[in-house]
Structure 1
């Protein structure tokens, strides 16, 4: 059935039928009801592409992540996709490869093609984010900017718990492998340094490193050269790289060195030994940020503009007490 069939059945013009589906508020209630009844009788459904163009809507949402291959990004994308699908939106996904220029370029390219844009842990300038927010509704994760709605995963306290856990096991020489500069790394660094200050420890900070498996492989020798008995990594990917390189060098975990990651991705359960890590609620962050974005796309900005999601330490087999061999 076509729009002309509906118009004939309802006794109106095709233009009136079009307005009923694109701008219903411009059509008299009685006429609108006749058109909807005729459409239902004829089982007519408007073309979704044409309907979106008429409403100046695309039916699409966009998300920019630092690295699609990163386990944490994958969890965010999956959660965002589920929420988008539930709300009948398609999701466009792109990655910046942790390059600021690429992130800004990708975001600007997506903005005109989507109804809303989600940026995860963005490193773009404040000016760029505000410029994007003037073009399309924008929500960010793990970034503080007064004018932009945000979902934050607060890890400082849980990172402090990781340091306390290591201290209780007898560790006094601890290294931290920093990740890319931004809210997440700042939160983890502040939690680690505050805990170390309370416990009288002097942490060795190495990096920053890209949040990738290869960074852990590269950093492992630096960690061993530093002579520490425990290492806290920015994320599970880096921690898994550490475990691999330590195994290659015959360094036993946790007998000779303990390892803690961040994120609690599926990777933490796959490596040997299973990884002690700080659980960061990635799926909840992705779902909450997408729900917030959809709310803004639909014109509802009356609710909460910033959410903080808590983290917690998960203890597994990669941490253990200091032994004579590890000292």
Structure 2
């Protein structure tokens, strides 16, 4: 007989099995930047094993079908969202669904208004949402919701292996000779940003070096450009940015200040968008199967709409490091 609770597991069950406090479990899902990557991973594993679902979603009213999927993105100008949306479209076309695309411009307030005002959609795909767990769970009580690049217990989600990808980036920079790792942070409310920063910090410590964070900045080319002065205050650091768009802007900012990448410093991005391979120098980046993310999330959402799923599945897709010319060996 296992020690698994017979009734619906609670936050206290997860805390007991993981050997942490209930508050730490809560922070893991709501504010992961406040929990070490190792602890957060252990808590998520325990939650999955126990079948823990915070605030289980019960929809309050029957839904009239519109054959419309609402896709909410944070910044349509970022090619990352274009690739994810293309994957959603692949599934939608085969399923005779129409897409409704909403751009929140990296604004939690715009995101909230979009969710409140959208009526003619059967469900939501929320890509890197900035809203609180409570607000998103409230939306899920009226219509199915699937998260991309975010985890909330009780809701289905599709993410990449952010921990593994962040560790690859840090290991690569340390192996090139860097003795300081600098993380250039995106939006303060970004769930994935919190996971990546904590992993960068933990992995750098494990490897016997230091890590620092600068920011927060917008997750755009202009955001990366604006980060350049703060980054250049750490001339010997190897740099990991929140995403490729920020890395592209940062490389330009370093060049405008008279430096060169990778001679002045090495830069690693996240997402492996096509533009990263086209900049000078071509960008080393943590790659994810973005189109597959979108397609997987769309299939999960359609399963929810059709009543074929219970709405708690979490899919983690692999990440890899694509090494290009923005990183090179640095000697002390």
- Give the TM-score normalised by the residue count of structure 2: 0.77
Deviation for aligned residue 1:269? 0.8
Higher RCO (C-alpha under 8 Å, 6+ residues apart): 2
User: What runs of 5+ residues in structure 1 fail to find an aligned partner?
Assistant: 1-54
Which residue number in structure 2 is paired with residue 249 of structure 1? 257
Q: Is 1:128 matched up with 2:138?
A: no
Deviation for aligned residue 1:292? 0.5
- On the 8 A contact 1:256/1:322 being kept in 2, the answer is no
Which residue number in structure 2 is paired with residue 12 of structure 1? none
- 1:1-327 mapped onto 2 (5 Å cutoff): 56-110=64-118, 112-180=119-187, 181-301=189-309, 305-323=313-331
What are the Cα deviations for residues 155-183 of structure 1, in whole angstroms up to 9, with x where unaligned? Answer: 11221121111111111122110122333
Separation (CA, whole Å) in 1 of partners of 2:107 and 2:310: 34
Separation (CA, whole Å) in 1 of partners of 2:156 and 2:311: 10
Deviation for aligned residue 1:127? 2.2
Which residue number in structure 2 is paired with residue 44 of structure 1? none
Deviation for aligned residue 1:303? 8.2
- Give the TM-score normalised by the residue count of structure 1: 0.78
Deviation for aligned residue 1:228? 3.0
Separation (CA, whole Å) in 2 of partners of 1:126 and 1:256: 41
Q: How many residues in Structure 1 have an aligned counterpart in Structure 2?
A: 269
Q: Which secondary structure does the structure 2 equivalent of 1:171 belong to?
A: coil
Q: Which secondary structure does the structure 2 equivalent of 1:214 belong to?
A: helix
RMSD between superposed Cα atoms in Å? 1.6
Separation (CA, whole Å) in 1 of partners of 2:142 and 2:209: 48
What are the Cα deviations for residues 37-79 of structure 1, in whole angstroms up to 9, with x where unaligned? Answer: xxxxxxxxxxxxxxxxxx9311111011111111211111111
Separation (CA, whole Å) in 1 of partners of 2:212 and 2:141: 42
- On the 8 A contact 1:158/1:191 being kept in 2, the answer is no
- On the 8 A contact 1:229/1:256 being kept in 2, the answer is no
Q: Which secondary structure does the structure 1 equivalent of 2:71 belong to?
A: strand
User: What runs of 5+ residues in structure 2 fail to find an aligned partner?
Assistant: 1-62
Deviation for aligned residue 1:233? 0.6
Deviation for aligned residue 1:129? 1.4
Q: Which secondary structure does the structure 2 equivalent of 1:226 belong to?
A: coil
Deviation for aligned residue 1:271? 0.6
Deviation for aligned residue 1:81? 1.6
Which residue number in structure 2 is paired with residue 21 of structure 1? none
Deviation for aligned residue 1:304? 6.8
Q: Which secondary structure does the structure 2 equivalent of 1:232 belong to?
A: strand
Separation (CA, whole Å) in 1 of partners of 2:263 and 2:234: 17
Deviation for aligned residue 1:302? 5.1
